[in-house]
Amino acid sequence: MKKLFLILAVSVFAVSSAMAQAVHKPVVGKTGIRLYNHPSYRTEIILPQVKGYNIYKGDFHVHTIYSDGEVTPRERVREAWYDGLDIIALTDHLELRSYEKFMLKAHAPYNKDGKPYQYIRGGAGNKTDHTTPIYCDLDATYEEAVQYAKNEEIPVMVVRGTEIWRNPAVIGEYNALFLTDITDVAKPDIIESLKEARKQGAIIIHNHPGWRRKTMDKSEMQEKIYAEKLVDGIEVIGGTGPTLYPKMIDRCVDEKLTIFSNTDTHRTSAQYYPRGGEIFRSMTFILAKECTEKAIKDALLKRRTIGYAANHLIGEEMWLGEFLNAAVECKVVAVNDKKEHRAFQLTNHCSVPFVFRRGKTTYTLNPFHSIRVNFGKNKENGKYNTPKFAVENMWTVGDKHPVLTIEIDK
């Protein structure tokens, strides 16, 4: 027993000594452990194929520290992937550099006299038109983001774009996408800026058309811009709010323009859209064959888009109906001829919920869930009715919820 006690005592002493050494002796070569080797978690947004097209998720209105945003281009690429996006457009302002003054102050020690360069706010000479030329190379910031995505193997398409920011109450603001040279777009006259963008093959969006305006009717300058065929689409819903402009849905349909939904985010997206939640950041669903610049541009110009914001879908009724029927499986699970009704099981195979209304009854079909609904016979022809609902989280022409029939799976 004494011998066993002695062995235990020696063992305890040895462990205590080892612990003492571990505490007091520095561990050489352990300070460079990579803490970010753990898995990166992306919010995966599952969407159906529609009419043979894949659905890609894009945000075409995003700002960085190179205009008035608070996030670097690199972080915009990272957060886009984390948020479940496939495409992001960097659209820093041509004429606004809110963060330039902080950069110039920070760089003061590198100046010959050690003083900051003078900061001149874009449009300082004419605050209503914002015609002052750009001071930094926005093409360089775009290339930085593209190179970062390539180096880090982040599968997000980065679109070269810019926001042409003029008096929103009179002229409006416009995003030019898929540019080849942003610097060449910086012209004092907005018509010339938009024409240069068009010459480069750009797609042009009319941004947040109701911001700072009492009416969304076209101003004289907007009439001219639209008459020159310089607008391809409208940000029908936008902002981190977000804000829906119902009249713009009608304009898109009437004038054959593309429907967009974007964030116009200036801060980190996680501030507005918590990752892993039930609501995703605002985005545009693009129906395209593949995620290439050519295929995405083709889809946008042919108006194959649906706007998404806060689990609401905005678009032309045809595409909303196609999306619904691609996402929801509908099958007959029971037939009761005595009570003259059929029971349907509706299964949602996508990440977006649907809110159905029939009469005074509302049904919510959550992502990857099923509901059961009974439909009776038509009193006029005696045939069984098919599932037909007003979809209350969809918006289309006339500021209305479309009434859609769900096809019964064979």
Q: For 283-295, how does the pLDDT look when each residue is reduced to its tens digit (9 = 90+)? A: 999 999 999 999 9
DSSP 3-state of 252: helix
DSSP 3-state of 142: helix
Q: Which residues contact 302 (CB under 8 A, 6 or more apart)?
A: none
Provide the pLDDT for residue 62: 97
Select the more confidently predicted residue: 218 or 36.
218
What band does 24 get if pLDDT is binned at 50, 70 and 90? very low
Please count the residues of the chain: 410
pLDDT tens digits along 298-309: 999 999 999 999
| Mean pLDDT of the 377-398 span | 94
Provide the pLDDT for residue 181: 96
Question: Picking from 104-113, 217-226, 274-283, 321-330, which range would have the lowest pLDDT averaged per residue?
Answer: 104-113
Strands 233-238 and 243-244, sheet pairing: antiparallel
Q: In what helix (H) or strand (E) does residue 301 lie, and over which residues does it extend?
A: helix 293-301
Select the more confidently predicted residue: 136 or 173.
173
Select the more confidently predicted residue: 112 or 57.
57
Q: How far apart are CA 289 and CA 54, in angstroms?
A: 6
| Mean pLDDT of the 214-219 span | 86
What band does 117 get if pLDDT is binned at 50, 70 and 90? low
pLDDT at 82 over 60: yes
Q: Where are the alpha helices (DSSP H) in 25-85?
A: 73-82
* Nearest Cα to Cα of residue 64 among 91, 101, 36: 91
| Mean pLDDT of the 205-219 span | 89
pLDDT at 210 over 80: yes
pLDDT at 114 over 80: no
Provide the pLDDT for residue 124: 37
Provide the pLDDT for residue 275: 74
Provide the pLDDT for residue 20: 40
Provide the pLDDT for residue 216: 84
Name the pTM for this structure.
0.87
Q: Are the CB atoms for 212 and 243 separated by under 8 Å?
A: no
Q: Environment class of residue 83 by beta-carbon count within 10 Å: exposed (0-12), middle (13-18) or buried (19+)? A: buried
* Nearest Cα to Cα of residue 159 among 284, 306, 311: 284
Q: How far apart are CA 366 and CA 351, in angstroms?
A: 8
- With b meaning 16 or more CB within 10 Å and e meaning fewer, what string describes 167-192? bbeebbbbbbbbbeebeebbbeebee
pLDDT tens digits along 265-284: 999 999 998 777 789 999 99
| Mean pLDDT of the 338-354 span | 96
* Residue linked to tokens 């760089």: 107
- DSSP code, position 322: H
What band does 134 get if pLDDT is binned at 50, 70 and 90? low
| Mean pLDDT of the 314-322 span | 98
For the domain covering 54-315, report its CATH number: 3.20.20.140
Residue 390's DSSP bridge partners are 357, 403
pLDDT at 355 over 80: yes
- Which runs of E-coded beta strand occur in 4-83? 54-62
What band does 170 get if pLDDT is binned at 50, 70 and 90? confident
- DSSP code, position 185: G
DSSP 354-398: EEEEETTEEEEE-TT-EEEEEEEB-TTT-PBPPPEEEETTEEBTT
User: Where are the domains positioned within the chain?
Assistant: 54-315, 328-405
**Mean pLDDT, the chain, integer:** 87
pLDDT at 327 over 80: yes
pLDDT at 133 over 90: no
* Residue linked to tokens 């038109």: 129
What band does 254 get if pLDDT is binned at 50, 70 and 90? very high
Q: How far apart are CA 238 and CA 210, in angstroms?
A: 10
pLDDT at 165 over 90: no
Provide the pLDDT for residue 36: 54
pLDDT at 370 over 70: yes
